[in-house]
Structure 1
Amino acid sequence: MTWTEALIGVLREGVLLALALAAPALAGALLAQVTREVLFGASLTVDGEHVPYLLVAVVAVLSWLAILALSGAYEHKILGSGTEEYRRILRAAVGALAVAVLGVFLTRAQVARGFVMSLAPLVAAWTLFGRYLARNWLARQRAKGLQMRRVVVLGRPDAVLEAVRHFRGALDQGYAVVSACVVGEAPEEVVEELAMPVLPPGDPLAAVTEQRAEILAIAGTEALPTGALRTLAWDLEGTGVDLMVVPTITDVAGPRVSVQPVAGLPLLLVEPPRLTGGARVVKSLIDRVTAVVLLVLLSPVLLVIAALVRFTSRGPAIFRQTRIGRDGKPFTMWKFRTMTERAEQDLDKLVTLNEHDGLLFKIRDDPRRTAVGRWLRRFSLDELPQIAHVASGKMSLVGPRP
């Protein structure tokens, strides 16, 4: 395939995609026009002249497409994945409504408020529906290996391999790694798992050109000389190739990470894993309701375990210990007792047998543990009383240990 044929193919696909995305918006505008004509039965008057509502609807759609473009709703990087695509459409809808109200005010058009107020929501709703259909089509194409953006990954062998694994695990995002430029010697097992051309890092731009890649992804910037990233960005200017940096913090949820520039240095800010606002209320409600249901369903099991602990060894069935909970507040935590009654007093005799450093004391075969306690620890049944703490709001079903 020649570059001319490829360009024609891209333009043809772009026109078809634009028509597919514009059609629902036009349908929404026409529906608003029909609603206006049928329900309100009036015409639009501008400076004493009659203007068909159909013409107004078509102009509104063209304006809507322009507002979408200005809102970045057609950017390639947001199409087909995530929620940013939908958020931009909703923001554009608010802007379109404001523009419509301002236009009516400036032209002094005699138009019913119902038409203006119904046009923007209908066009936005149909646009969202069109994007949903287009996203489903795009997902099916990507599942077949089509409509993918070709990626060349540059970096250390281990960082390149980790990045390739993530790309391969999310093909629905539309990225296909076609080549790797490895800094240093790549182990044989890395080359085998990559299963793609592995090139030296001397000229990554040549690899991008050779593989007709659309993205150059840098995995582990510490492997590059100082200023190399800036030089690559300059070299890629005007080529249409995007430069992507793969961070090393791959085990942190994306919404918690943001870029914060400090004196020209882009820093990654990692927010603490803490829910706020409505999400926190919903999670707390789910935790408490689930805990109450579990307490009711497991009450026979809890009673049987408590009886086994109480009557097979001296001491209470419940072990109480003060722990630090949310916001640094102490609370008394409950567990089924798994050790003898004098476990705390006998601790000094076993200090030399500790198998862990620091404050944690743990012995694989702790002689203080009871027969029932070993069984409870094995299946983590000793922690079942903590469901009561979840019901009272002192703990969460999923979260850090107190």
Structure 2
Amino acid sequence: MALLTASPREKVDRWQHDYAQRLFLSDLTVIAVCVFGAQLLRFGTSMQELSVESADRFSFVLSYSTVSLVLIFGWMLALQYFDTRDYRITGTGPEEYKRILDTSVRVFGLLAIIDLLTRASIARGYLLIALPSGLFFLLLTRWLWRKWLHKQRAEGQYLHKAVIVGDYDKIKHVADEIGRSPANGYALVGAVSTTKDGKDLAVAGVAVQGNYDAILTTVEGTGADTLIMTSADVLGPKKMRRLGWELEQRGIEMVVAPALTDVAGPRIHMRPVAGLPLIHVDFPQFSGQKYWMKRAFDVVGSAFLIVVLSPIMVTVAVLVKRDSPGPVLFRQGRIGHNQEPFKMLKFRSMAIDAEAKLAEFLDRNDGNGVLFKLKDDPRVTRVGRVLRRYSLDELPQLFNVLKGDMSLVGPRPPLPVEVEKYDDHALRRLLVKPGITGLWQVSGRSDLSWDDSVRLDLYYVENWSMMSDIIILYRTIRTVVTPSGAY
């Protein structure tokens, strides 16, 4: 009954605290099991001791059980200090995982320094088990909790109830972007247009109120705990300041959504100047050290996958050869980095005369206009349908990656006829190497509209990071196991 009468702010504080407590207990369990597990695996049940020598040559002895307790406490303290359970980063985006990784590396870096200064000689095997296992299971349990949180949000729980305010065109755009990712935790319950009469207008299924005076009324009437401001400049400094005071008194959080879309966090920097919160946006970088790192990752990763997957590739080659006449591999001209043409390799999944018959099926295109796709293409062989469904036909592209024509992760490699239809906007996809997989491939593939596929590829091109590549590769595995949009 108390929950029903609680203010919007109190309800949010409760679920945020509840979720943070779940993460705390999960982190503590994981770290304790991994650290004491490392001790057990390294030393067994015997009581091992560690000799520590201070700067004034005063020495003392600690049991490894004490060392484990200190390590657990220090690790948990560091996770708390670096805000790895902050509600602003948990549940969405890569920042939560990055903070856990950075924090864990810092903890063991500090431990290494202490070990060097005290000449304690902590057993290397103990640390080599505790750190990787602890880090792996921390990330795994955080991912599992995130999936749980997304499920709760899909059922209407653990959500921020938000009212969106601003120019009508802007609030509609921001509402559409928020609607693309409901797992981010915002549920729109109200909207206020500061520039248009709201009669007969709606965004995301919510009626739009008409003017500035309706903001606080809408917030209170909908029980919102968050106000999303898209057009602060429309209100002016004085009204914005007064609105901030009113929201503070009611415990309503204000979120400012600038007119920046498809720009990732690492490119955005806040710099206060004379009381003005100026947002600096870095230019996209298409060369330099991080792209050399990407190339090294591609070479090592593709070589490893070729070795590991070679039995599967040999098996697929035999099946393709037996299923229909023609070569095992299909070489197709594609456009790569900086509009350079190259030959992309695939296992042949169609009849040998498929290209000659293409004109017969152009009027039956199931693709998005620029991209030609046919769901029930009669040119596809029996084995080819299976290969396409599980993306096995694309395995030979690992050799394109090893050669340098492609990357493991990147935009979809387009055909020359597709590039001829590109405008300047779409041509930016070719500023980086095309990939075997990418945001397009893990977000619906051929089921996406042309605009969505371009938007996803451009987002990747301009906001690439090593962490995003790793996340996309993980999502690729999940997409291959449960294929959708592949035909």
**Shorter-chain TM-score tier:** 0.5 to 0.7
* Shift in alpha-carbon separation, 1:236–1:45, aligned structure 2, 3 A: farther
Q: Quote the offset at 1:67 in angstroms.
A: 0.7
Q: Does 1:277 align with 2:304?
A: no
Q: State the partner residue of 1:56.
A: 67
Distance, in Å, in 2 between the alignment partners of 1:172 and 1:248 is: 22
SS at match of 2:286: coil
Q: What is the 5 A alignment of 1:184-333?
A: 184-191=195-202, 194-196=205-207, 198=209, 200-202=211-213, 204-205=215-216, 207-233=218-244, 236=247, 241-250=252-261, 252-254=262-264, 257-259=267-269, 261=271, 263-264=273-274, 265=276, 266-269=278-281, 271-272=283-284, 274=286, 276-279=291-294, 291-293=343-345
Shift of 1:85: 0.9
Is the Cα–Cα contact under 8 Å of residues 256 and 273 in structure 1 kept in the other structure? Answer: no
Separation of aligned partners in 2, 1:228 and 1:385: 49
Q: 1:385 to 1:9 in 2, by over 3 A?
A: closer
Alignment pair present for 1:37 and 2:76:
no
Give secondary structure in 1 for the equivalent of 2:137: helix
Deviation at 1:127, TM superposition (A): 1.2
* Letter matched to residue 69 of structure 1: Q
How far did residue 91 of structure 1 move?
A: 0.8
Length-normalised TM-score, structure 2: 0.53
CA distance in 2, matches of 1:78, 1:382: 41
- Count of matched residue positions in the alignment of Structure 1 and Structure 2: 318
Query: What displacement does 1:137 show?
Result: 1.0
Kept after mapping to 1: 8 A contact 2:192/2:198: no
The question of 1:66 aligning with 2:58 is answered no
Deviates more, 1:121-130 or 1:225-234: 225-234
Q: Equivalents in 2 of 1:203, 1:303: separation in Å?
A: 63
Question: Quick one: distance in 2 between partners of 1:8 and 1:302?
Answer: 61
Judged with a 3 Å threshold, the aligned counterparts in structure 2 of structure 1 residues 202 and 126 are, in CA distance, closer, same or farther, namely: same
Give 3-state SS (helix, strand or coil) of 2:88's partner: helix
Task: Indicate whether 1:142 and 2:142 are aligned.
Answer: no
1:315 equivalent in structure 2: none
* TM-score between the two structures when normalised by the length of structure 1: 0.63
Q: What is the match of residue 16 of structure 1?
A: 22
When residues 396 and 21 of structure 1 are mapped into structure 2, their CA distance, relative to the original with a 3 A threshold, is closer
Counterparts of 1:273 and 1:299, CA distance in 2: 42
- Which blocks of at least 5 consecutive residues in structure 2 are unaligned? 54-58, 299-334, 359-413, 421-429, 435-453, 459-487
The percent identity for this pair of structures is 22
CA contact (8 A) 1:153 1:219 kept: yes
The alignment status of 1:169 with 2:180, answered yes or no, reads yes
Aligned-CA RMSD value: 4.4
Max radius of gyration: which structure? Answer: 1
| 1:328-357 deviation line (CA, Å, top 9, x unaligned) | xxxxxxxxxxxxxxxxxxxxxxxxxxxxxx
**Distance in 1 between residues matched to 2:207 and 2:42, nearest whole Å:** 59
SS at match of 1:97: helix
How far 1:120 sits from its partner (Å)?
3.0
Aligned counterparts of 1:385 and 1:154: Cα–Cα separation in 2: 40
Conserved in 2, the CA contact under 8 Å of 1:96 and 1:120?
no
Q: Which residue of 2, 26, 49 maps to 2:5?
A: 2
Matches of residues 370-385 of structure 1 in structure 2 within 5 Å? 383=417
SS in 2 for 1:293: strand
Preserved contact between residue 178 and residue 197 of structure 1 (Cα < 8 Å): no
Single out whichever of 39-48 and 95-104 deviates more from structure 2.
39-48
SS at match of 1:243: strand
Q: 1:78 Cα deviation (Å)? A: 0.9
Instruction: Give the match for residue 33 of structure 2.
Output: 27
Q: In terms of mean alpha carbon deviation, does 10-19 or 120-129 score higher?
A: 10-19
Q: Tell me if structure 1 keeps the 8 A contact 2:193–2:208.
A: no
